């Protein structure tokens, strides 16, 4: 659906719900790609890099915090969308290295 916006279509990606303070990483992606998260992950947008916290619950749900600050610094308006692309560490099966945020102007 958003494949034309991401860098590598082999990387897992998901749309961001802009109404929430934190972003839920879909459980199906976590399961299918066997994703493992460090406590802090690099979030990259067109402006630069930020470190953001990943919270993993006991039921393996994962949440990325601080998505609103990324929306503010990119001047998102009503109708704009964000897509997150998960980039993993080479050689480490499923270890998340970075999350790249792609902005789609509406």
In a domain, 22, yes or no: yes
Distance between start and end Cα atoms, the chain = 15
The predicted pLDDT at position 19 comes to: 77
Distance of CA 82 to the CA centre of its chain: 9
The predicted pLDDT at position 20 comes to: 79
In a domain, 5, yes or no: no
User: What is the secondary structure of 37-60 as a DSSP string?
Assistant: --SEEEEE-SS-EEEEEEEE-TTS
In a domain, 8, yes or no: no
All residue ranges of the chain with pLDDT < 70 are 1-3, 91
CATH of the domain at 53: 2.40.330.10
The predicted pLDDT at position 21 comes to: 77
The predicted pLDDT at position 41 comes to: 94
In a domain, 53, yes or no: yes
The predicted pLDDT at position 2 comes to: 65
In a domain, 62, yes or no: yes
In a domain, 6, yes or no: no
In a domain, 24, yes or no: yes
The predicted pLDDT at position 91 comes to: 62
The predicted pLDDT at position 84 comes to: 93
Domain span at 22 = 13-104
In a domain, 7, yes or no: no
* φ, ψ of residue 46 in degrees (nearest 5): -70, -20
The predicted pLDDT at position 75 comes to: 92
The predicted pLDDT at position 90 comes to: 78
Number of domains in the chain: 1
């Amino acid at each position: 659906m958003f494949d034309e916006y991401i860098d590598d279509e082999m990387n897992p990606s998901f749309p961001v719900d802009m109404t929430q303070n934190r972003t839920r990483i879909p459980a199906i992606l976590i399961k299918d790609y066997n994703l493992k998260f460090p406590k802090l992950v690099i979030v990259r947008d067109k402006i630069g890099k930020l470190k953001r916290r990943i919270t993993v619950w006991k039921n393996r749900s994962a949440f990325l915090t601080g998505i609103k600050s990324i929306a503010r610094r990119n001047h998102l308006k009503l109708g704009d969308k964000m897509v997150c692309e998960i980039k993993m560490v080479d050689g480490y099966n499923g270890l998340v290295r970075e999350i790249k945020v792609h902005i789609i102007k509406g």
